[in-house]
Amino acid sequence: MKPRIIFLSAALLLTLGLIYSFTSKTNKHYTYAFQDPALGTEVRVRDLISKMTLEEKVSQMLNSAPAIPRLSVPAYNWWNESLHGVARTPYKVTVYPQAIAMAATWDRNSIHTMADYTAEEGRAIYNESIKKDKHGGYLGLTYWTPNINIFRDPRWGRGQETYGEDPYLTGEMGSSFVTGLQGNDPKYLKAAACAKHYAVHSGPEESRHKFNTDVSDYDLWDTYLPAFRKLVVDAKVAGVMCAYNAFKSQPCCGSDLLMNSILRDQWKFSGYVTSDCGAIDDFYRAKAHLTHPDAESAAADAVLHGTDVECGNVSYLSLVKAVKDGKLTEKQIDQSLVRLFTIRFRLGMFDPSDANKYNQIGKEALEAPAHTAQALKMAHQSIVLLKNENKLLPLSKNLKKIAILGPNADNDVSVLGNYNGTPSHIVTAVEGIKSKLSAGTEVIYDKATDFVADSLTSHDFTGTINKVKDSDVIIYVGGISPQLEGEEMRVKKQGFRGGDRTTIMLPAIQTELLKALKATGKPVVFVMMTGSAIATPWEAKNLPAIVNSWYGGQSAGTAIADVLFGDYNPAGRLPVTFYASDKDLPDFTDYSMNNRTYRYFKGQPLYAFGYGLSYSEFTYSALNIPATLKKGDALTVHVSVTNNSKTDGEEVTELYLSHQGAQTKTAIRALKGFERNFIKAGQTKELIFKVPANDLAIIDGNGRIVFAPGKIELSIGGSQPNKATSVSKKTVSRSIEII
């Protein structure tokens, strides 16, 4: 015992010496070294971990980490959400358009600002919670957002949470969100973002706990991983969430390839990884993966693959026994603890309140005027005008009678999407439209029908038709709702199951009603709310005006009305392909990208990815690129865009590349640049795009970037290139030879 006593005394003397050193340098007394803000984060983190028992360490690897009173470590719950504003909080907060709608803005700056404002409101909630000594769920600063899975199939109910079907657009919008949320302070994170669900994850919801994906290396690196790489390597996202599903027969949270080889070794990710909620249980749970015999084996394997925190409260409790049984070492537990506490220290959780500027953000940030203005701006920007025959829109405000119909016309649930907060006030379409009209306008509102019929029998709309047949215009606000599509829902209605859709067709009862409205001879405007692509072949052919407004957030109704009556000129673009029918889709469970999304779809879409109309007319000219370019070099593109109308407006300029005659598989075309610009009537703007060398390369069958010689066609304009856009000069194209 004597040598042990001497060793402990030496350790005690060292600790006292350190404390004396801290006291002499800062004139403040710290019980432990990790409490001193003057020390480096790594030193502080390792000092704290060295003082914890194995049991205490393991307790910190649950999403609801308990306090360690003897070390003055407060409790912390890692689980929080901020998909489009702070979610699930007891406070009133700003609710922005759903993620898929924000993608439809094609505006990096807008989503960056939105994320910055979201972090402000999150900080206000966190600061207020700390004052009240509250440390429960949905109060912390680690947000499990953004969802950057590729929306490969419109039937997936959670696709509304993503930035669409394209890896480039997803990576750009996701990066802007991350940098906005995390801030630019050299020491502190404003909040911590988390890229999810890693990886190759996009439904079906009913089988997400047990399905196994096995895609080609080409699809993995060409489609499923680029956005994750962008957020991890370039945007320096703080966290990553591993997905429920298995990949190549290993659960994603225990994947050799995804977690160890790619995320940690190749991308050098040093942040924290959380499991999806209950995902570790799926390793050994009946009717799930069953790749492991018990919780102890599953937990040990997940940690060895770099999963640092379990969203759950069962499996990781067995890690203490796993260490004692030799399935992993305490040092390997420490590695996870380093990553977890590094994030908490970077968030300032162990520093005096006056040391971190973000601690000064108060409740006045909640629903601040700038935030509510941004919510309206993004609702405006997200609206996609799909059809405007004979320029029916914008409507006159001097109408004698207007009818507003449909299940979404006055639905304050639909506009909020999912993973949402609650604002003080929600503007529905009915409220927004009424606000535009004079007191002399008669307004008829009637829900008319639900989203889906309870039976397949025909319906009698005589009463509704009689009320609206003498209206000057009929506005039908329909589509679908987050009440029907979303995460693992207990919904089983015609066309919907388990949160997913069994068909992409607009529910038949709505088409039936629209046909009856069309028969009145009155102009019908169809306003769709949706989180995904809806097939509307009859509507596209027969209705004069169609507006897609997604789930537009707290100001959705104002934005819709502004577009309908010309107070805002729409410029949103589709971040997903709107297919014509279910026949265009491969099997939902097929993760191969063959014939999926605009990049590989060989059919004719109803409305293409990148499509969207305006009240202005834009043309492109003076495309200037070199005739040849050395492989491995970047490309500079000059182009002029002119507003040829009498109406000021915004234009989204899209740049696509298509490899001609490549010896390996490539996309039909791929987005590699975009900008959103305001252009006055009659004005011409010269735009400059910088295309990095990697974006000119191809992915080979082994997933490697190859700088290959050959011809590339570059197209730039207000949508994807096709015969119609080329004739109208809405796009211009030119080939470049890579030598």
Do 488 and 586 reside in the same domain of the chain? yes
Whether 350 shows a pLDDT value over 50: the answer reads yes
Do 466 and 569 reside in the same domain of the chain? yes
- Is 364 one of the annotated active-site residues of the chain? no
- CB contact burial 141-160 (16+ within 10 A = b; e otherwise): bbbbbbbbbbbbbbbbbbbb
Would you state the pLDDT for residue 78?
Answer: 98
Do 527 and 573 reside in the same domain of the chain? yes
Please tell me which residue in 485, 500, 562, 651 is annotated as part of the active site: 485
Residue 701 confidence class, pLDDT cut points 50, 70, 90:
confident
Q: How many domains does the chain have?
A: 2
Q: Report if residue 172 sits inside a domain.
A: no
Do 412 and 551 reside in the same domain of the chain? yes
Do 672 and 566 reside in the same domain of the chain? no
Would you say 447 and 406 are in contact if contact means Cβ atoms under 8 Å apart? yes
Residue 660 corresponds to which tokens in the numbers above? 């001609």
Q: Which of 550, 566, 600 is the last residue of a domain?
A: 600
Distance (Å, whole) CA 92 – CA 248: 43
Q: What is the mean pLDDT of the chain?
A: 95
Provide the edge-to-edge strand list for the sheet that holds 649-660: 628-629, 731-738, 710-717, 649-660, 670-679
Find tokens 């499996």 and name the residue.
315
Coil, strand, or helix at residue 714? strand
C-alpha closest to that of 489 among 107, 109, 157: 157
Q: Which of 565, 600, 635 is the last residue of a domain?
A: 600
Question: What string of DSSP letters covers 269-310?
Answer: --SEEEE-TTTTGGGTSTTS---SSSHHHHHHHHHHTT--BB
Q: Report if residue 533 sits inside a domain.
A: yes
The answer to whether the pTM exceeds 0.85 is yes
C-alpha closest to that of 487 among 549, 550, 434, 419: 419
pLDDT tens digits for range 157-190: 999 999 999 999 999 999 999 999 999 999 999 9
Containing 374, the helix (H) or strand (E) segment is helix 369-382
Do 656 and 542 reside in the same domain of the chain? no
Distance (Å, whole) CA 52 – CA 64: 17
Q: Taking residues 609-634, what's their average pLDDT?
A: 97
Residue 18 confidence class, pLDDT cut points 50, 70, 90:
very low
Q: Report if residue 77 sits inside a domain.
A: no
Domain limits for position 536: 369-600
Would you state the pLDDT for residue 19?
Answer: 41
Q: Report if residue 165 sits inside a domain.
A: no
Do 572 and 630 reside in the same domain of the chain? no
Q: Report if residue 669 sits inside a domain.
A: yes
C-alpha closest to that of 285 among 297, 303, 273, 267: 297
Q: Report if residue 52 sits inside a domain.
A: no
pLDDT tens digits for range 448-501: 999 999 876 778 999 999 999 999 999 999 999 999 999 999 999 999 999 999
Do 450 and 575 reside in the same domain of the chain? yes
Provide the edge-to-edge strand list for the sheet that holds 524-529: 384-388, 545-548, 524-529, 473-479, 401-405, 442-446
Do 672 and 564 reside in the same domain of the chain? no
pLDDT tens digits for range 279-318: 999 999 999 999 999 999 999 999 999 999 999 989 999 9
Q: Which of 569, 600, 631 is the last residue of a domain?
A: 600
- Is 485 one of the annotated active-site residues of the chain? yes
Q: Report if residue 308 sits inside a domain.
A: no
Do 590 and 638 reside in the same domain of the chain? no
Say which residues have a Cβ less than 8 Å from residue 411's Cβ, sequence separation at least 6: 428, 481, 529
pLDDT tens digits for range 89-128: 999 999 999 999 999 999 999 999 999 999 999 999 999 9
Would you state the pLDDT for residue 28?
Answer: 72
Do 654 and 511 reside in the same domain of the chain? no
CA 136 to chain centre: 25
Q: Taking residues 12-24, what's their average pLDDT?
A: 41
What distances in angstroms separate CA 654 from CA 249, 256, 628, 677, 680, one per listed residue?
38, 37, 22, 11, 19
Helix axes 330-346, 295-304, angle to 10 degrees: 60
Would you state the pLDDT for residue 456?
Answer: 62
Q: How many CB atoms lie within 10 A of CB 490?
A: 6
Coil, strand, or helix at residue 454? coil
Would you state the pLDDT for residue 260?
Answer: 98
Would you say 100 and 480 are in contact if contact means Cβ atoms under 8 Å apart? no
Whether 22 shows a pLDDT value over 80: the answer reads no
**695: domain CATH number?**
2.60.40.10
Q: Taking residues 682-693, what's their average pLDDT?
A: 98
Whether 51 shows a pLDDT value over 80: the answer reads yes
What distances in angstroms separate CA 195 from CA 221, 702, 719, one per listed residue?
17, 25, 28
C-alpha closest to that of 634 among 692, 689, 714, 696: 692
H-type helices in 84-211, by residue range? 99-103, 108-131, 167-182
In the chain, pLDDT over 70 holds for what percent of residues?
96
Containing 77, the helix (H) or strand (E) segment is strand 76-77
Do 584 and 480 reside in the same domain of the chain? yes
Q: Report if residue 91 sits inside a domain.
A: no
Distance (Å, whole) CA 10 – CA 2: 13
Please tell me which residue in 161, 276, 310, 700 is annotated as part of the active site: 276
Whether 434 shows a pLDDT value over 70: the answer reads yes
* 3-class DSSP string for 532-587: CCCECHHHHHHCCEEEECCCCCCCHHHHHHHHHCCCCCCCCCCCCCECCCHHHCCC
Find tokens 């003082």 and name the residue.
51
Q: Taking residues 238-254, what's their average pLDDT?
A: 98
Find tokens 């099997």 and name the residue.
587
Prior bond of 197 cis (ω within 30°): yes
Would you say 607 and 530 are in contact if contact means Cβ atoms under 8 Å apart? no
Would you say 500 and 203 are in contact if contact means Cβ atoms under 8 Å apart? yes
Whether 585 shows a pLDDT value over 80: the answer reads yes
What distances in angstroms separate CA 545 from CA 215, 569, 597, one per listed residue?
40, 15, 25
**539: domain CATH number?**
3.40.50.1700
Coil, strand, or helix at residue 671? strand
Distance (Å, whole) CA 574 – CA 739: 35
Distance (Å, whole) CA 560 – CA 186: 41
Residue 645 corresponds to which tokens in the numbers above? 């109308």
Which one has a higher pLDDT value, 565 or 16? Answer: 565
Would you say 513 and 538 are in contact if contact means Cβ atoms under 8 Å apart? no
